């Protein structure tokens, strides 16, 4: 463990980042507590505390200039109670707070964040429909945030060896490109929350991302599919956290059991195929597709009319026929039971 001292702050890397903000880099020192930040003299727009051992988010003096705070990959389980009122006073201009991969468990632990009036107030107004021209980034970014755009397909990436985090929340993504592994070989975190992915088979391209560890597909229609979670765990086994829930060994074993072997492979294939090839009316009884009564039905109609002895009975038969019912069957439970009743009648006849 390394104590965050004024000397360490002075010695830490300082640079102008890609968005021209002055950033203080405190990554990887194994710092356990945030303290002594008064030594920064409030001269930084961004501070990166990623990859440390911080357990509690507190200890900030007044930092009017700070806009971005990165605290990824720590052990944060609490947001300081004292900050419930003071967080907005200490960080009045904070607009970006990243707490990815920490230990926050209960929603109430997030309550102190409500005091941050500036956080999340800046809306993305680009409304980008297609991912393109990312070669202009010169592969200098660890993370790219495409949230709140109009993107429909996840593709169009050049080779970006450095990119590890890709955020594509709140778009319209319904398809995922086939060659993501070649373009993004080091991608470890992909967030696709609130998009339009419908088919289980459409998630298959993610299997090629060998470094993918964190994946979120929450608030997509595909999450309502039967066996969704087990299917993803089986198809993308490298993922350790799915939809912000750690993948358990029991789940892996269950997924392996469900999709292993010829029968399991066929099940996986069937699930994906059905979700891709839905045909309206598929699976309905074939007799529903016929345009009119069968020859047997016609004969039954003729016999019923010929045997009708009163005008009232003829009118009753007409009413039955107009409603699609066949005389002699109108007391049955319904079309779904016809086959069962016919089978029962055959059994009785054979038994006698």
Tell me how long the chain is: 352
Q: Look at residue 99 and tell me whether its pLDDT is greater than 70.
A: yes
Question: 101-130 pLDDT, tens per residue?
Answer: 988 886 655 666 765 654 443 444 578 999
pLDDT at 338: 42
Whole-structure pTM value: 0.47
CA pair distance 123, 175, nearest whole angstrom: 25
Find, among 215, 222, 205, 218, the residue nearest to 157 by Cα. 205
pLDDT score at 191: 93
Q: Are 9 and 36 in contact (CB under 8 A)?
A: yes
C-alpha neighbours within 13 Å on the C-beta side of residue 25 = 7
Distance of alpha carbon 45 from alpha carbon 94, whole angstroms: 9
Please state, in angstroms and rounded to a whole number, the distance separating the CA atoms of residues 309 and 313: 7
* pLDDT of residue 253 exceeding 50: yes
Cβ–Cβ < 8 Å for 10, 33: no
Q: Where are the beta strands (DSSP E) in the chain?
A: 13-16, 22-25, 46-48, 56-57, 68-70, 78-79, 96-98, 143-145, 153-154, 165-167, 175-176, 189-191, 214-216, 241-242, 245-246
Which tokens hold the place of 67?
Answer: 């806009």
pLDDT at 74 over 90: yes
- Compute CA distances 69 → 7, 94, 266, whole Å: 21, 8, 48
- Report residue 73 as tokens: 């990959």
Structure tokens at 59: 């200890």
235 or 273, which is more confident? 235
Q: Which of 51-65, 88-102, 306-320 has the lowest mean pLDDT?
A: 306-320
Q: What is the pLDDT of residues 315-324, one digit of tens each?
A: 676 666 655 5
Q: Give tens-digit pLDDT for 188-217.
A: 999 999 999 998 888 999 999 999 999 999
Residue 334 has pLDDT above 70, yes or no: no
Residue 59: pLDDT band (50, 70, 90) is confident
Half-sphere exposure of 205 (CA within 13 A, CB side): 18
Q: What is the mean pLDDT of residues 270-280?
A: 51
Q: Token match 């069957």: residue?
A: 329
| Residue predicted with more confidence, 47 or 289 | 47
Beta carbons of 194 and 170 less than 8 angstroms apart? yes
The pair of three-digit structure tokens given for residue 218, joined into one six-digit string: 């929450």
d(CA 115, CA 113): 5
What does pLDDT average to over the chain? 78
Would you call 195 exposed, middle or buried from its count of C-beta atoms within 10 A (0-12, 13-18, 19+)?
buried
Least confident of 57-61, 69-73, 79-83, 87-91: 79-83
Structure-token match 């089986």, residue found: 234
Contacting residues for 303 by C-beta, under 8 A, at least 6 apart: none
Q: What is the pLDDT of residues 83-93, one digit of tens each?
A: 444 677 788 88
Helix (H) or strand (E) holding 265: helix 261-276
What is the band of 270 on the pLDDT scale with cuts at 50, 70, 90? confident
Q: Does the structure show a pLDDT above 80 at 340?
A: no
User: Which residues, at least 6 apart from 165, have a Cβ–Cβ distance to it below 8 Å?
Assistant: 100, 142, 143, 144, 187, 188, 189
SS3 105: coil
């Amino acid at each position: 463990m390394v104590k965050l001292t004024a000397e360490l702050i002075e010695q830490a890397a300082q640079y102008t980042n890609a968005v021209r903000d002055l950033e203080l880099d405190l990554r990887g020192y194994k710092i356990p507590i945030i303290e002594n930040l008064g030594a920064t003299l409030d001269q930084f727009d961004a501070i990166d505390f990623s990859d440390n051992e911080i357990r509690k988010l507190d200890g900030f003096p007044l930092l009017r200039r700070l806009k971005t705070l990165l605290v990824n990959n720590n052990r944060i389980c609490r947001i300081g109670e004292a900050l419930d009122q003071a967080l907005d006073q200490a960080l009045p201009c904070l607009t970006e707070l990243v707490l990815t991969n920490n230990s926050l468990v209960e929603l109430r632990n997030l309550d102190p964040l409500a005091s941050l009036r500036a956080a999340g107030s800046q809306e993305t107004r680009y409304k980008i429909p297609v991912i393109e021209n990312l070669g202009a980034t010169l592969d200098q970014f660890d993370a790219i945030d495409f949230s709140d755009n109009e993107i429909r397909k996840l593709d169009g990436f050049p080779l970006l060896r450095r990119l590890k985090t890709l955020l594509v929340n709140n778009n319209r993504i319904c398809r995922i490109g086939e060659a993501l592994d070649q373009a993004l070989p080091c991608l470890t975190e992909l967030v696709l929350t609130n998009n339009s992915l419908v088919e289980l088979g459409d998630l298959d391209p993610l299997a090629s991302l060998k470094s993918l560890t964190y994946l979120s597909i929450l608030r997509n229609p595909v999450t309502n599919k039967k066996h969704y979670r087990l299917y993803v765990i089986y198809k993308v086994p490298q993922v350790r956290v799915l939809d912000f829930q750690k993948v358990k060994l029991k789940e892996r074993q269950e997924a392996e059991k469900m999709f292993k072997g010829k029968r399991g492979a066929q099940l996986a294939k069937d699930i994906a195929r059905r979700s891709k090839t839905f045909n309206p009316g598929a699976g309905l009884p074939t007799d529903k597709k016929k345009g009119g009564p069968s020859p047997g039905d016609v004969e039954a109609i003729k016999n019923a009319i010929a045997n009708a002895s009163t005008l009232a009975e003829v009118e009753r038969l007409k009413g039955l026929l107009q409603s699609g019912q066949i005389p002699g069957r109108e007391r049955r439970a319904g079309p779904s039971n016809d086959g069962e009743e016919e089978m029962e009648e055959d059994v009785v006849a054979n038994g006698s």
